[in-house]
Amino acid sequence: MFLPVSMEDMKERGWQEVDFVLVTGDAYVDHPSFGTAVISRHLESHGFKVGILPQPDWKTVADFKRFGRPRLGFLINSGNVDSMVNHYSVAKHRRRRDAYSPGGRAGNRPDRAVIVYSNRAKEAYKGVPVIIGGLEASLRRLGHYDYWDDKVRRSILLDAKADLLIYGMGERAALEIAEALEAGIEIKDITWIRGTCVRVKADAFQADDVVLPAFAQIAGSKDAYCESFRLQYRSNDAVTGKRLAEPYDGQTFVVQNPPQPPLEREELDLLYALPYMRDYHPQYGAAGGVPAIEEIKFSITANRGCFGGCAFCAITYHQGREVRSRSRESIVAEAELLRDRQDFKGYIHDVGGPTANFRHPSCEKQKTQGMCQHKDCLFPKPCSQLHVDHREYAEVLAAVRQIEGIKQVFIRSGIRYDYLMADKDESFLHALCQYHVSGILKVAPEHISGRVLGNMRKPPIAVFDRFSDRYKTVSKKLGKKQYMVPYFISSHPGSRLEDAIELALYMKRTGFIPDQVQDFYPTPGTLATCMYYTGKDPFTMKKVYVAKSAEEKKMQRALLHFHKKENRETVKKALKKAGRADLIPKLLR
């Protein structure tokens, strides 16, 4: 049974009121890949009544009164994706499609949805607590560079006029807030919960708080912005993280409490066993449903967190670097649920997560001492303390494969090939090639230039080449004709025109034709966005080249798609500009 989306639904359940109204910028999809579903079901499992307000009309307060006055508060997110990313391409062109809306129709949510929704909720009912969360709030929790405004913006907590902000994976924090409100504690006094940000006055400091550069400083100085980023990055660990305080007007501070510890295996198992409907709400049937569910409807989330440390990825800042995974029994139980659905065709599309082949914390030390603050697990090479073991993941996949009625199990979420190559036992690679590739394996070397890969925090291209050779050899030995399609990023910080040319020559030589080339998109919360804005690596303060002109971005992208006829003239122009006109016959013949 879906949670209520109207007063009528609420009354059918015999409720006189809801404890929380959960407002989201997505259509209502009750599936564990959607944060709205996870938070609402989690609160429901602890006795709280939650009404779902999906894609409300934000132009008036009427929709925000749909359930009447919530007893405890509003919970607000923009949906699974940042609303600005959802609306705009990297070229800042308005997108025509929204996969998280009925029928894929765009225009059902406002720009900066969290801010707009929060302000409307405040207008609807004075004095009702407003708590914001989800990806949009999490990645904008402190002062941050905003690509769309091309300036540093304040913490979204202030612009949204919200009472509390939940960052990261918010199940535990949301429940602790709900229990505090239930106990009669006023929202203004709920300042201690891990994984939250609050607005405080100057007299609310604690002795070991880390004071960040003031907002006025980071808005006016790129060096101060780098310093703030550095301090935030190094406090994003549940064991070693400190309270961070960002000053605003001398009296107002936004305080980030230390992160919540990651959910352990037993907690994840319980969370994913909740009674999700695993579909979009039937009210969207006439519009053709919600397209976003098609990619994940028969996929299983097996883990959380990522110690990969890619500079362009926000997972480190949102989910954290510590990896936790579900048990084999829990994953098998979910696979059996999917198998029993009428529309199941026999194929599990994915058993993975942010990085599919991470199942455990990267080393034993971090469990008690936290993640290393000054080194990465895989960059510039795998740490000597790294725990490399694919056996449990292989066992999980084998158990799902063996369920009666399941024809094949694919892995579509990312495989870290450098982690795979660090495993001396090749049995997982053999299983991958034999059972879990649908003819084409998608991998993400992202670039081949050493300079660019260094700024991406990715391994040297030689590691990818070794993996590619082993993949081909194993596939051939198994008698399988299988291919590999790489993903690349153009115009990433550090990439000059000559780096894009080097990548084009590599693709020409190897015969790789990229399925997808993504222009670097400077989204909040990533190391690469800090580089893009400041022109520096915040950890070394060395200068980083950044391609910002539309013309150079177009050239770098065209070089990565040099085989397309429509790019010929742009490729010629790029080669001439770089002084490599001699390559025109080689690339374009």
In a shared domain, residues 37 and 178 = yes
Q: Dump pLDDT digits (tens) for 417-457.
A: 999 999 999 999 999 999 999 889 989 999 999 999 999 99
pLDDT at site 414: 85
- Is residue 381 predicted with pLDDT exceeding 80? yes
* Tokens of residue 409, six digits: 């199990």
Q: How many CB atoms lie within 10 A of CB 300?
A: 25
Q: Dump pLDDT digits (tens) for 4-29.
A: 999 999 999 999 999 999 999 999 99
> Dihedral through CA 131, CA 370, CA 306, CA 99, nearest 10?
0
In a domain, 455, yes or no: no
Tell which of 438, 466, 500 closes a domain: 438
Residue 540's pLDDT band, with cuts at 50, 70 and 90, is: very high
* Tokens of residue 524, six digits: 């909040």
Tell which of 156, 181, 196 closes a domain: 196
Mean pLDDT of 85-92: 96
- Is residue 513 predicted with pLDDT exceeding 90? no
pLDDT at site 208: 84
pLDDT at site 121: 98
Residue 367's pLDDT band, with cuts at 50, 70 and 90, is: confident
In a shared domain, residues 178 and 36 = yes
| Low-confidence winner among 131-145, 317-331, 368-382, 510-524 (lowest mean pLDDT) | 510-524
pTM of the model: 0.96
Q: How many CA atoms lie within 13 A of 151 on its CB side?
A: 8
Whole-number Cα distances in Å, 280 to 27, 283, 292: 8, 8, 10
Residue 1's pLDDT band, with cuts at 50, 70 and 90, is: very high
Sign of CA dihedral 155, 305, 462, 432: negative
Residue 514's pLDDT band, with cuts at 50, 70 and 90, is: confident
Number of domains in the chain: 2
In a domain, 222, yes or no: no
- Is residue 373 predicted with pLDDT exceeding 90? no
DSSP H helical ranges for 342-481:
366-369, 391-401, 417-421, 427-435, 450-456, 461-477
Q: Dump pLDDT digits (tens) for 26-64.
A: 999 999 999 999 999 999 999 999 999 999 999 999 999
pLDDT at site 516: 72
In a shared domain, residues 189 and 326 = no
In a shared domain, residues 34 and 177 = yes
Amino acid present at 316: T
Rounded Cα distance, 373 and 242, in Å = 13
Query: Left (φ > 0), alpha (ψ -120 to 50) or beta: where does 107 sit?
Result: left
In a shared domain, residues 306 and 184 = no
In a shared domain, residues 26 and 166 = yes
| Low-confidence winner among 172-181, 255-264, 428-437, 513-522 (lowest mean pLDDT) | 513-522
Q: Which is it for strands 196-201 and 252-256: parallel, antiparallel or unpaired?
A: antiparallel
Contact yes or no for 101/157 (Cβ under 8 A): no
In a domain, 166, yes or no: yes
Q: Dump pLDDT digits (tens) for 280-319.
A: 999 999 999 999 999 899 999 999 999 999 999 999 899 9
Assign residue 360 the CATH number of its domain. Answer: 3.30.750.210
* Tokens of residue 137, six digits: 């709030």
Whole-number Cα distances in Å, 104 to 29, 174, 235, 456: 13, 30, 39, 33
Contact yes or no for 35/23 (Cβ under 8 A): no
pLDDT at site 139: 97
* Tokens of residue 528, six digits: 């690469």
3-state SS of 185-206 is: CCHHHCCCCCCEEEEEEHHHCC
Contact yes or no for 170/178 (Cβ under 8 A): no
pLDDT at site 517: 81
In a shared domain, residues 31 and 156 = yes
The chain-wide mean pLDDT, for the chain, equals 95
- Is residue 526 predicted with pLDDT exceeding 80? yes
Domain that holds residue 152: 7-196
- Is residue 75 predicted with pLDDT exceeding 80? yes
pLDDT at site 18: 98
In a domain, 586, yes or no: no
Task: Report angle CA 463, 469, 472 to the nearest 5 degrees.
Answer: 140
In a domain, 533, yes or no: no
Tell which of 196, 230, 255 closes a domain: 196
Q: Dump pLDDT digits (tens) for 147-165.
A: 999 999 999 999 999 999 9
pLDDT at site 163: 98
pLDDT at site 34: 97
- Is residue 515 predicted with pLDDT exceeding 80? no
In a shared domain, residues 176 and 53 = yes
In a shared domain, residues 307 and 177 = no
Which residues sit opposite 442 in a β-bridge? 485
In a domain, 265, yes or no: no
In a domain, 561, yes or no: no
Q: Dump pLDDT digits (tens) for 114-139.
A: 999 999 999 999 999 999 999 999 99
DSSP-assigned states of every residue in 526-587: -HHHHHHHHSB-TTT--B-----SHHHHHHHHHHHTTTSGGGHHHHHHHHHHTT-GGGHHHH
Scored b (16 or more CB within 10 A) or e, 313-331 reads: bbbbbbbbbbbbbbebebb
In a domain, 313, yes or no: yes
- Is residue 178 predicted with pLDDT exceeding 90? yes
Assign residue 126 the CATH number of its domain. Answer: 3.40.50.280
Rounded Cα distance, 104 and 30, in Å = 17
Helix (H) or strand (E) holding 122: helix 113-124
